[in-house]
Amino acid sequence: MSLLKTTFGLLNRVLPAETGHAHCDIPCGIYDPHAAQIAALSTIRMNQLIEAMDKPNPDMSEADRTAAVASLGRYVAEKDRSAELCKQELRILWGDYFKPNHIEQYPDLHEKFANAMRAASSVRQSISLKASEDLLSAVQDIAEIFWKTKGAGVSRQPSRQAVGGELVYPA
């Protein structure tokens, strides 16, 4: 056993295994644009909270200024994390779910994904409610196409979250 362990240990040092990351390259066949919509909606909420907060200023007490800076940092970090999560969920749909027959059916699908990815990057690059709203709109367009490719009708329903907005569901 020791010789086998030594051999594999040496082999692993010479040819190390790479870590693989995937949603499901089996493929599992379970795809859903809902997580991308929630992530986009979260970026909107973070921008709303940033707009509503008392901005740090010299007239604040040190404790209030520290609290405001900490809140701003948390909101921005969550906005950026949610935008990146949205991109990840979109990449899974784009790369794993949608196939050439879907592109034939929806010739502008690649452009819609590219625009959504750019919108998510714009959300990360700025503090802009409009950028987040544009991201949600782009994701909703993709969600509608996704459900149509599965033979489902679609409906937009209120999110029922503090952020407001709508989510696309299969009908």
Please give the model's pTM, rounded to 2 decimal places: 0.83
The per-residue pLDDT for 30 is: 87
What average pLDDT score do residues 151-166 get? 96
Residues 119-157 have pLDDT tens digits of 999 999 999 999 999 999 999 999 999 999 999 999 999
Angstrom CA distances, 116 to 66, 84, 95, 96, 122, stand at 35, 12, 14, 17, 10
Domains of the chain by range and CATH? 31-170 (1.20.120.400)
Per residue in 47-65, pLDDT tens?
Answer: 999 999 998 889 999 999 9
Q: How does residue 13 score in pLDDT terms, banded at 50, 70 and 90?
A: confident
Cis peptide before 158 (omega within 30 of 0): no
Tokens linked to 94:
């784009």
